[in-house]
């Protein structure tokens, strides 16, 4: 068998098994060989958490759907999926959310989803996960479920980031 055919088959099997990592939250913000850079903050450190905010996922909504934080604050989001279906929890600005939503649609069409990322987590029914985020820029951000149809049906939330502390 031709060595190129074997190499191609191995590469396809690796990619099909989820061997390539996807970083949806960093779309358009990656620097070659470096960690993702976000205009709206960065992954937080557990030792630096200022407070926790509980978020419950329902069928097509979040509770609460609005949170307020201060610039510089590090928040531990404790997210519980109380719904019988899978959900995604992604923190981002409007551009990041739109890019993540488009990528999720492509991935779901291929029968896959992303794993947990710096600004996004996937939750199965009944699952509880945490996402720690440090907010650096005042303004409005979003937390959305970007599984196709969910955000469009209202599964969105807002994060108001006040000027500082």
Number of domains in the chain: 1
pLDDT at residue 152, as a whole number: 95
Whole domain around residue 84: which residue ranges? 30-162
With respect to residue 74, please indicate whether it lies within any of the assigned structural domains: yes
CATH label of the domain that carries residue 37 = 2.60.40.420
Please list the alpha-helical segments (H only) found in the chain: 3-16, 94-109
Strands in 41-43's sheet, in edge-to-edge order, are: 41-43, 128-135, 74-81, 51-57, 62-63
Counting residues of the chain whose pLDDT is more than 70, the rounded percentage is 78
Give 49-72 pLDDT, tens digit per residue. 999 999 999 999 999 999 999 999
With respect to residue 3, please indicate whether it lies within any of the assigned structural domains: no
pLDDT band at 13 (very low <50, low <70, confident <90, very high): very low
pLDDT at residue 36, as a whole number: 78
Q: How far apart are CA 91 and CA 159, in angstroms?
A: 9
β strands within the chain, DSSP E: 41-43, 51-57, 62-63, 66-70, 74-81, 87-92, 120-123, 128-135, 139-144, 156-162
Task: Give the mean pLDDT of 46-50.
Answer: 97
With respect to residue 17, please indicate whether it lies within any of the assigned structural domains: no
């Amino acid at each position: 068998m031709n060595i190129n055919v074997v190499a191609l088959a191995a590469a396809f099997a690796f990619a099909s098994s989820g061997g390539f990592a996807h970083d949806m939250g960093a779309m358009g913000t990656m620097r070659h060989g470096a960690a993702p850079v976000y205009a709206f903050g960065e992954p937080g450190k557990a030792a630096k958490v200022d407070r926790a905010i509980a978020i419950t996922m329902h069928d097509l909504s979040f509770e609460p759907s609005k949170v307020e934080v201060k610039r510089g604050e590090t928040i531990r989001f404790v997210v519980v999926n109380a719904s019988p279906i899978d959900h995604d929890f992604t923190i981002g600005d409007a551009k990041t959310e739109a890019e993540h939503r488009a990528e999720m649609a492509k991935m779901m069409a291929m029968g896959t989803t992303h794993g947990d990322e710096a600004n996004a987590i996937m939750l199965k029914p009944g699952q509880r996960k945490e996402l720690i985020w440090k907010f650096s820029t005042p303004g409005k951000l979003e937390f959305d479920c970007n599984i196709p149809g969910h955000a469009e049906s209202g599964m969105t939330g807002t994060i108001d980031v006040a000027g500082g502390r």
